[in-house]
Amino acid sequence: MGSDEDRKKFVEQVRKACRIAWKLRDFGARPYGVVRIDSASSPTDWAADAEANQSRIAQTFSEACDVAEDFGERLAAEGEICWGGMHSWKKMVDLLECVNRPKMLGFQADMAHTLLYIMGYNAPEDSILPADWDWSDRHKLDEAMKTLTTALRPGRLIFTWRKTTVQ
């Protein structure tokens, strides 16, 4: 989000990261991988004008994709609940769809954050599990994770030891 100047600085930082990643790949030290990015904004700031802010983030990420492509890199949107516009699984899906660059921008998160996604932290309206969910109900947890992974699958980057592929 941010001002036009903030967004230019963000894209320039992506350029620097991609240049470093390209050099490491050229040296043989990094035969695979992606450059991770986030919205650099809080969910609270994002919510002040959610629609406009989501659009600005998508536009900025699209510009970042152009930069990454010039270096032969890909980007992974870091799915953490602390980043505005990426703070819920539904917002993350929306962002990936708005950018619409599935070969350049994917989704990356660890299990802790995907668990927080299904529980609706920072976006209770997007919770998959009910607030009173019983942790011993493994079936409900499995179903919630299936819902989440099905929704995010189009933006998933598959990491392998020798290369990164997009599915």
Q: How many CB atoms lie within 10 A of CB 137?
A: 12
79 pLDDT more than 60: yes
CA pseudo-torsion sign 42, 3, 20, 62: positive
Cα–Cα nearest to 117, from 95, 138, 147: 147
In a domain, 166, yes or no: no
User: CA 72, CA 31: separation in Å to the nearest integer?
Assistant: 12
Q: Helices (H), strands (E): how many in the chain?
A: 6, 5
**Structural domain count, the chain:** 1
In a domain, 72, yes or no: yes
How confident is the model over 112-137, as pLDDT tens digits? 888 899 999 989 999 999 989 999 99
Q: Which domain holds residue 72?
A: 4-161
Cα–Cα nearest to 39, from 76, 77, 91: 77
In a domain, 167, yes or no: no
Report the percent of the chain where pLDDT is more than 70.
Answer: 92
In a domain, 150, yes or no: yes
**Where residue 83 sits, what CATH number does that domain have?**
3.20.20.150
How confident is the model over 22-66, as pLDDT tens digits? 999 989 888 777 899 999 899 999 999 999 999 999 999 999 999
In a domain, 47, yes or no: yes
Between helix 138-152 and helix 111-119 the angle, nearest 10°, is 100
Backbone angles phi, psi at 73, to 5 degrees: -105, 170
Q: Which single residue is written with the structure tokens 């699958």? A: 153
